[in-house]
Structure 1
Amino acid sequence: MYTAVKPLSKYLQFKSVHIYDGVFTLHSKCTVAFLLACTFLLSSKQYFGEPIQCVSDFSNMDFVHSYCWTLGTYIMNYEEPLLQLSGHIVEKNYRETINRSLEMNLLYIAENTTPLLNVPKDRKYLRYYQWVVLVLLLESFVFYLPAFLWKTWEGGRLKHLCLDFHSNVGKQSEDQMSKLVHYFTSNYKETHFRYFSFYIFCEILNFVIGVVNMLLLNIFLDDFWSQYVEALKAIPSYNWNEWTRMTSRVFPKIAKCEVIRFGASGSPNVYDNLCLLPLNILNEKIFAFLWLWFMLMTLLAGLKLLYRVVILFHRGLRFQLVYAKARNMTKSELESALCNFSYGDWFVLMRVSNNISPEIFQKLLNQLNAARHGKLDKV
């Protein structure tokens, strides 16, 4: 199994220069790696077998498997029963009895149904499993889009500014420090503003992708999220019967399939088949994790945007963030080093600080202060 996902290990390797922050990395790189790993596993028959296996009286079983996979299997579509009597919730044992009855009736219409159960409406055809691998693959491309755009727009700027500090020592490192000081004392405000704007656009895109992805998956899996809330509630209490019942509505492991064959006189012969869907054992776990992961990523992306707004309009907080990294440096000296810094300049400086050692960053601030000695305009 490791062989199938081994190519992703290079994708997750840490680079010497980080052009993404932690939230960006989780959203674009870790999510993409997980989606691709799930795609590889679901596509590997040697690990989980055939995606569908049917039992039938029909002689040509290959035809039955292809027919049921192509045209879709089905279960019976029941409404969720309102288990309530005279304003009081029924007892737990009675609820479990009804739940078992409902679970069995996902395949068969029972005439003697309990009056608390709604009458089954119709067949619920399962055709989504044909698209699961393609959807996961498409999601991986969509989640990678912000990282791809930022890598293109970033243009290797941080690598040009910071990489030599990782590979050079002595005089070469001093020359690179001089270039870095000259860079931050030059007027690149417009360039840095575009640099910051592109990064913010990618962070907004991360948030939008997270929200739209959950909405589309909810449509793709027929009200998936609302049903999985109840399923996930059963995990902390180890109520696996409830977990199985709820997940079987979205990812049933067994379903029915009717193959219709016309006789010599044109009369239809219906072959009733029972089909196993082994991959749904994996699908229910994958999408349960994705449900939590997408919620977390969307929340973190939203909080990151809120953080950006606060930083953008709070100059004092920006100063304090740099001051927290400025060791043995007074506020007046730091104000001198950062005089006339715009928000874009500050953003690039903080990105540089994340890619060099604290000692080198301290030396950079000291040399900026020396280069701007006597210019005490505040940030």
Structure 2
Amino acid sequence: MYTAVKPLSKYLQFKSVHIYDAIFTLHSKVTVALLLACTFLLSSKQYFGDPIQCLGNKDMDFVHAFCWIYGAYVHGNTSLEPLKNGAAQCRPDTMGTVPMEKRRYIIYYQWVVLVLLLESFVFYLPAFLWKIWEGGRLKHLCDDFHKMAVCKDKSRTHLRVLVKYFSSDYKETHFRYFASYVFCEILNLSVSIVNFILLDLFFGGFWARYWHALVALTDGDFNNWNSITMQVFPKCAKCEVYKGGPSGSPTIYDHLCLLPLNILNEKIFAFLWMWFILVAALVSLKFVYRLATALYPGMRLQLLRARARFMPKLHLQVALRNCSFGDWFVLMRVGNNISPEMFRKLLEELYEEQSLTKKIPPGADEI
């Protein structure tokens, strides 16, 4: 098992330069790692046995394959009856001769692993796009500070390079950089919304049912938890196998089947239910934050001051006299990748650079 998930540890290793913020990392990287881990778990036949096991006396390999490919079914909304002690039992008698229109076929069962794998690709898409569009700019600007942490002279030299960089006119480049990042943030939010819709269609009322199931679980009502989760992930079902009879007419053989993976599915998706909602809420709040920083210049100034250990406001206004919104964004990304002390030195150097070109600060900051 460790060999299967070992590549994920490298995927989640902390880099010296962070091109994603914390919420972006949770949405596009941690979520992908969780989905891939769940995929490995569900596809590990070595640890969880066959995905379907049916009761019978002969040709069981054929029966298992047939029921796996063509699907088993349950009657109505449930395939079990709660017992007084909180357990449950399969009820083959309730699934006897029922009309075809009352059968609910478990068509999703063989697709769960593929859906999780597809979700991992979709959630990774914004991170993949941003890694391409970012082009290593932050690494170029900040990586030397990590390599030269013990060499003050080299750090001072690189600090002057940054001052020269932010004193130059890269407004169009920085605006494209900012616009690309915001597009990826919007894509993160869109992925979360689409994920809600598709999972609800795939499992049939997944979000509403699991809300009641988790409420029952927090109340310690395991009987109700089992009853509700069985509606989404039944543990036993019925399968009809058609074989040719002596006269050539098809003969129907009924089989009662167990679905062992649904024991794991119900717990995995209980966790994913909470995780997807948490991540979607954080991404939504981040989008509101991004709108606030775009609409309120004073908020951008205060965020820089907080990162720069509350540098005097007038000095900061002078340092950012010619700073556009895109410049502010790149400056903040640099500030998140170097120490606050070094970031304040950078802004003080920018203040001195601007003071040389114009002695009197403007009445209002442009940021």
Distance in 2 of aligned mates of 1:60 and 1:328: 77
Q: Which one of the candidate residues 358, 361, 366 is aligned to 1:376? A: 361
Cα displacement (A) at 1:284: 0.5
Q: Which residue of 1 aligns with 2:190?
A: 208
- After superposing the two structures, state which structure 1 stretch, 61-70 or 283-292, moved more: 283-292
SS at match of 1:275: strand
SS at match of 1:270: strand
Cα displacement (A) at 1:121: 5.9
Q: Which residue of 2 aligns with 1:161?
A: 141
Q: 1:107 to 1:233 in 2, by over 3 A?
A: farther
Q: Which one of the candidate residues 322, 340, 352 is aligned to 2:304? A: 322
Decide whether the 8 Å contact of 1:75 with 1:256 is kept in 2: yes
Decide whether the 8 Å contact of 2:83 with 2:89 is kept in 1: no
Q: Which residue of 1 aligns with 2:128?
A: 148
Decide whether the 8 Å contact of 1:31 with 1:140 is kept in 2: yes
Q: Which residue of 2 aligns with 1:28?
A: 28
Q: Which residue of 2 aligns with 1:62?
A: 61
Letter in 2 for 1:75: V
Distance in 1 of aligned mates of 2:306 and 2:73: 61
Cα displacement (A) at 1:264: 2.3
Distance in 1 of aligned mates of 2:109 and 2:176: 43
**Equivalent runs, 1:43-122 vs 2, <5 Å:** 43-57=43-57, 59-78=58-77, 108-109=94-95, 122=102
Unaligned 5+ residue runs, structure 1? 80-94, 112-118
Distance in 1 of aligned mates of 2:221 and 2:106: 26
Distance in 2 of aligned mates of 1:180 and 1:189: 15
Distance in 2 of aligned mates of 1:106 and 1:226: 28
Distance in 1 of aligned mates of 2:17 and 2:178: 18
Q: Which residue of 2 aligns with 1:84?
A: none
Say if 2:212 is the partner of 1:266.
no
Paired positions, count: 355
Cα displacement (A) at 1:268: 2.6
Deviations 1:154-192 (A, max 9, x none): 000000000000002233222211110001111111111
Decide whether the 8 Å contact of 1:259 with 1:271 is kept in 2: yes
Identity %: 59
Decide whether the 8 Å contact of 2:92 with 2:238 is kept in 1: no
Q: 1:359 to 1:367 in 2, by over 3 A?
A: same
Q: Which residue of 2 aligns with 1:283?
A: 265
Q: Which residue of 2 aligns with 1:238?
A: 220
Distance in 1 of aligned mates of 2:92 and 2:337: 57
Q: Which residue of 2 aligns with 1:2?
A: 2
Q: 1:96 to 1:343 in 2, by over 3 A?
A: same
Decide whether the 8 Å contact of 1:109 with 1:120 is kept in 2: no
Cα displacement (A) at 1:4: 2.3
Deviations 1:20-65 (A, max 9, x none): 00100000000000000011111111111111111114x2110000
SS at match of 2:217: coil
SS at match of 1:14: coil
SS at match of 1:19: coil
Distance in 2 of aligned mates of 1:222 and 1:235: 20
Letter in 2 for 1:290: L
Say if 2:230 is the partner of 1:248.
yes
Distance in 2 of aligned mates of 1:220 and 1:228: 14
Q: Which residue of 2 aligns with 1:89?
A: none
Distance in 1 of aligned mates of 2:345 and 2:9: 36
Distance in 2 of aligned mates of 1:56 and 1:271: 10
Letter in 2 for 1:198: S
- After superposing the two structures, state which structure 1 stretch, 367-376 or 157-166, moved more: 367-376
SS at match of 1:108: helix
Distance in 2 of aligned mates of 1:107 and 1:318: 67
Cα displacement (A) at 1:97: 8.0
- After superposing the two structures, state which structure 1 stretch, 367-376 or 27-36, moved more: 367-376
- After superposing the two structures, state which structure 1 stretch, 164-173 or 179-188, moved more: 164-173
Decide whether the 8 Å contact of 1:56 with 1:272 is kept in 2: no
- After superposing the two structures, state which structure 1 stretch, 214-223 or 9-18, moved more: 214-223
